[in-house]
Amino acid sequence: MYTPNKLTVYVEAFYMDGGRITLSLLKNHPAFIALCISIKLISTRPSEPVLFHGKNGSETVWKHFVRINRNSVLPINPESPYSWTGNGSEWCQNGDSEILHDLVHTIASSANTAEISFSVDWYLKIVNSNLGGESIVLTQVALEGIAWWYLVAHKKAILASNYDNLKTGDWLRMMLSFMNIPAEVPKIFSHLLKLCNDQSFNFKLDGIADGPLAFVNTRNFIVHRSEKNLKKLQKIEGVAMQEVVSLGLWYLETIILKLVGYKGKYYSRANNDYNLTVLD
């Protein structure tokens, strides 16, 4: 028998009309949008909720099923796929975590849903692209899109005209500062740190290995091809290039989790062996 449990989701009811979900109403419904975004973020793939009609005794319910990708940034057991059943305003989650419940709740009540959706969609394009070093270019597109909205429109920390005149990496460093994310290159990226000691790369700020400078300058070496930049790219190839990729993804993943109000453990690229780290 269907019984809502403690994971009942705090969202509005999905609309039902004659036993069918009315898509014209559903597509703009905050709870449904939040569910779509949450599933994409957790599954780390461009997936949508699958809702289908079912019966539980004499009770009509809706059910959703999603399989979790093994490389999810959040601590979800991939062997325990999630199914959701709902009736009226009550939706319950069958699984081993309250993460999806919390994400849906937070995103549905957020005033920044469009920006969160933009960030997650770009993130999925990048992690599923298998582009290698070239993914740095896409990661910067995503980070710049978030930074402009966050610093200019949301926080009003800087005027649009002044934002356009920021020096290399300043926009990223400013956003990281607002979100309490360290700008210094994490120690795990040892090959990248060695390059930071090479003055020709300009990866240091005030004597500190600066992540925004390392990431943005590497992107510039890729995009703005010249003999000088090609020589620098040859030095960054291999493990060091992969560390720049991981640095950018670490920024993007952490920023997205901050935007959705997530607090808890996640798999941080900035720690050894992709260990679980507490995000507060």
Q: What is the model's pTM?
A: 0.82
Q: What is the DSSP string of 204-226?
A: EETTEEBHHHHHHHHHHHHHS--
Give the strand pairing for 59-66 and 264-267. Answer: unpaired
pLDDT bucket at 170, cuts 50 / 70 / 90: very high
- CA distances (Å), 223 to each of 119, 134, 138, 228, 238, in order? 22, 9, 11, 13, 18
What is d(CA 98, CA 105) in angstroms, rounded to the nearest whole number? 11
Q: Does residue 96 register a pLDDT over 50?
A: no
| Residue 155 · residue 72 · CB < 8 Å | no
**Mean per-residue pLDDT for 10-21?**
43
pLDDT at 71: 67
Percent of residues, the chain, with pLDDT higher than 70 = 72
- Say if residue 145's pLDDT is above 70: yes
pLDDT grade for 128, boundaries at 50, 70 and 90 = confident
pLDDT of residue 2: 33
Say yes or no to pLDDT of 273 above 90: no
**Cα dist. 245→31, 156, 211 in Å?**
33, 29, 11
The mean of the pLDDT values for the chain is 78
Bigger pLDDT: 42 vs 13: 42
* Domain ranges (residues) in the chain: 23-108, 113-279
CA of 272: how far to CAs of 25, 187, 239, 277, in Å? 46, 9, 15, 10
Q: Say yes or no to pLDDT of 19 above 50.
A: no
pLDDT at 141 over 90: yes
The answer, yes or no, to whether residue 7 has pLDDT greater than 90, is no
Rounded to whole angstroms, the Cα distance separating 99 from 166 reads 37
Q: Report the distance separating Cα 158 and Cα 227, nearest Å.
A: 36
pLDDT at 12 > cutoff 50 = no
Q: Residue ranges of the alpha helices (H) in the chain?
A: 23-26, 30-43, 99-108, 113-127, 135-148, 160-163, 170-178, 190-196, 211-223, 227-236, 239-259
Burial state string for 17-49 with b = 16 or more CB within 10 A and e = fewer than 16:
eeeebeeeebeebebbbbbbbbbbbbbbbebee
- Looking at residue 265, its pLDDT comes to 86
DSSP bridge partners of 53: 62
SS3 call for 240: helix
pLDDT, tens digit (0-9, with 9 covering 90-100), for 196-250: 998 888 899 999 999 999 999 999 999 998 999 999 888 887 899 999 999 999 9
